[in-house]
Amino acid sequence: MLYSVIGYYSLILGLCFGLIIIYFSVKNFQNYQLLDNKILSFTFLQFFFVVISFLCLILSFVLSDFSNETVFNNSHTTKPLFYKIAGTWGNHEGSLLLWLFVLTLFILIFLLRSKKQPTKYKILTLVFQQMIIIGFFVFLIKTSNPFNFLYPTPEEGLGLNPILQDPALAIHPPILYLGYVGTSIIFSSALAATSLNIINKSWASHIKKWVLISWIFLTLGILLGSIWAYYELGWGGFWFWDPVENVSLMPWLALTTLLHCILVLEKKLILTSWVIILSIATFTLSMCGTFLVRSGILNSVHTFANDPERGLFILIFLFCLIFLSLLIFFFFHKNNKNNFTSLFWLSKETSIIVNNWFMMYFLSVVLIGTVYPIFLDVLSSQKISVGPPFYHKLIIPFLIPFLLMMAVGPKLKWIKSNLKDKFYLIILLAISILLSFLIVKNFDTKFLLNTILISSSMYLFFITLRDFFIKIHNNISQNIAHFGFSLLILSILFNNLFSTEIIANLKVGETFQSENTKIVFESINQEKEKNYQSIIGNFSIHNSKGKIENMLPELRIYNQPNIVTSEADIKTTLMSDKFIVINLVQNQDYFNIRYQVKPFMIWIWLSVVLISFGGLMSFIKKEHEK
């Protein structure tokens, strides 16, 4: 009760500070020397109030204060403390407050870290950022206030959706938001730099750090979501081309493209307009993602509530931001004329640009696949969905030149290059083709495509591996990230090619026999936990070599809300994952069983970690040099 009041008024105060900052900045824009410290302290105060508000919400959750509507809707007294806290951002209102928290945190860090930048630029960035922050404040207070009162106070809360009660999902939103919100800094800063016409090499190296940070967190955030979906949703896959996944992939693709363009800009001062457009696009896509998952348009775990008002608000807000940024882009941006003249076809920048085009193509495919059903629904009220084959068909063939470009591109020099003395490039290509031919030759389906795909990713794999040890060029971060990417594609390919699956309905005591696997359903045990009851199936899996493995998948029946979830049992080794999940069919004594052997599963996760580690290396290196 008390905390809700404090939290609510802190939010209002935070909003007021946002308005004050804008007022002061605009009024005293010319007299900026005077502003410097004042603005910093105002921003700090704003951040402080958001923190207070956020802490109040966490406290309300911890104390199970059901007079707060958000707490009532999403918490329960029997929930473990960890999930009470994590439940704070496991709902619409709380997650928006978290978003606001990261927004204000980042702008504060931005002001503290860019002391050397021109003051005008800093202030303008702050103004743009405050526009976004105020937008979110108004959105939060008006349509999704986390501190609404309930009277009379209910005895017990409704509880958190059990599939969200999971460690990976507890940290997934904060990490992902750090990535999403990081793009807002890039957006504001790009707009500020455009208005002042200071898009130059030093701006590029300054903003590169922010691009890297957002990129690292976005990558990790997507990874966490993917790992969670793998073991919690029970489908045994890591990517489903579900619209919710796509909306996080789109900003990632844009951000990755931006990261590479910034590198070119930093070295050569070309592609300036492209960088600005990408900065705008990245943030817009992040916002679009929020809009889509928050408006109830998409069917997913992120759809906390179907409130058209919220969707409309974000949509209008989004349009204002896009309109503003395009206005600034067209009025202020002066393109330096000699953009294309110095481009030679065989150079590092050409290869980066070509791969940029590929990325943009991937991005548009994902965008069309995600948005088309929504448009069709609005236009003709016809309900459709776009399945994985659409994405696979359009993306996979283009991965081949993309991978080859990734392998060869970094070998090229800036401006003009030639490929003499690169005997090993051809040798490695031959080895990759031979190896993949040997691997794929036992498969009939899509023989040619698979061979070419595996060889091109192996090519990248070998080349980056060789560079890592020989260290011809010292760009180790790029080397690690590209190596990680080749590992990712290879693991995904092998995983797809060699996965096996058995689905059967079994009663306790029954046995399922397939060609080379025998599944025996030995028994079930029941256990009672604090907020759920668990049914644990005891299975023994006999493979063709006579090896027996025991697996214990679990069903959890949560008390509040009354929902059944499956907890898969996964045995992970370096070579493959064994995955088993059970489900009880209503009123029947049969259990529905899904058993999968998924090769190289762990390498998919590890390679993504490697990719973001590459980003981290680059970030640290930058810090170190300065």
Partner 1 sequence: MYGRKVKLRFLFVVIILITLILSVFLVLKSLEENVIYFQSPSEINALTEIDKKKIRVGGMVKKNSISINAKEIKFIITDFKNEINVIYTGAVPNLFEEEKGVVAEGFLKDRNFFFATKILAKHDENYMPPEVKKAIEEN
Q: Can you give the binding site for partner 1, defined by CB under 8 A?
A: 161, 163, 233-235, 296-297, 299-301, 303, 340-341, 357, 361, 364-365, 368-369, 372-373, 382-387, 389-390, 393-394, 503-506, 510, 512, 561-566, 581, 583, 585-588, 590, 592, 594
Smallest distance, Å, CB 171 to partner 1? 19
Torsion region of 236: left, alpha or beta (phi above 0 gives left; psi -120 to 50 gives alpha)? left
Q: Would you say 19 or 585 has its CB closer to partner 1?
A: 585
**Taking a C-beta distance cutoff of 8 angstroms, is the pair 3, 56 a contact?**
yes
Going from the C-alpha of 459 to that of each of 195, 406, 602, the distances in angstroms are 44, 10, 21
Smallest distance, Å, CB 585 to partner 1? 5
Instruction: Round to whole Å and give the CA distance between 189 and 128.
Output: 8
Q: Would you say 71 or 181 has its CB closer to partner 1?
A: 71
Cα 477 to chain centroid distance, Å, stands at 20
Smallest distance, Å, CB 345 to partner 1? 10
Collapse the DSSP code of 587 into the 3-class scheme (helix H, G, I; strand E, B; otherwise coil) and give the result: coil
Q: Would you say 28 or 300 has its CB closer to partner 1?
A: 300
Instruction: Round to whole Å and give the CA distance between 481 and 538.
Output: 41
Smallest distance, Å, CB 542 to partner 1? 18
Residues in the chain: 626
Smallest distance, Å, CB 287 to partner 1? 22
Smallest distance, Å, CB 300 to partner 1? 7
Smallest distance, Å, CB 233 to partner 1? 6
Q: Would you say 540 or 592 has its CB closer to partner 1?
A: 592
Smallest distance, Å, CB 217 to partner 1? 24
First to last CA, the chain: 49
Smallest distance, Å, CB 394 to partner 1? 5
Burial of 76 (0-12, 13-18, 19+ CB in 10 A): buried
Collapse the DSSP code of 553 into the 3-class scheme (helix H, G, I; strand E, B; otherwise coil) and give the result: coil
**Taking a C-beta distance cutoff of 8 angstroms, is the pair 432, 455 a contact?**
yes
Whether residue 173 has a cis bond before it, omega within 30° of 0:
no
Q: Would you say 119 or 583 has its CB closer to partner 1?
A: 583
**Taking a C-beta distance cutoff of 8 angstroms, is the pair 241, 391 a contact?**
yes
Q: Would you say 268 or 621 has its CB closer to partner 1?
A: 268
Instruction: Round to whole Å and give the CA distance between 91 and 553.
Output: 28
Smallest distance, Å, CB 331 to partner 1? 25
Q: Would you say 31 or 382 has its CB closer to partner 1?
A: 382
Smallest distance, Å, CB 87 to partner 1? 14
Q: Would you say 119 or 500 has its CB closer to partner 1?
A: 500
Residue 518 neighbours by CB distance under 10 Å: 14
Q: Would you say 45 or 233 has its CB closer to partner 1?
A: 233
Q: Would you say 371 or 440 has its CB closer to partner 1?
A: 371
Instruction: Round to whole Å and give the CA distance between 83 and 60.
Output: 13
Instruction: Round to whole Å and give the CA distance between 287 and 284.
Output: 5
Smallest distance, Å, CB 623 to partner 1? 38
Q: Would you say 367 or 428 has its CB closer to partner 1?
A: 367
Instruction: Round to whole Å and give the CA distance between 482 and 56.
Output: 43
Residue 306 one-letter amino acid: N
Instruction: Round to whole Å and give the CA distance between 455 and 443.
Output: 15
Q: Would you say 369 or 614 has its CB closer to partner 1?
A: 369
**Taking a C-beta distance cutoff of 8 angstroms, is the pair 342, 414 a contact?**
no
Smallest distance, Å, CB 572 to partner 1? 20
Instruction: Round to whole Å and give the CA distance between 290 and 295.
Output: 8
**Taking a C-beta distance cutoff of 8 angstroms, is the pair 244, 300 a contact?**
yes
Non-local CB neighbours of 381 within 8 Å, separated by 6+ positions: none
Listing DSSP states for 461-496 in one string gives HHHHHHHHHH-SS--HHHHHHHHHHHHHHHHHHHHH
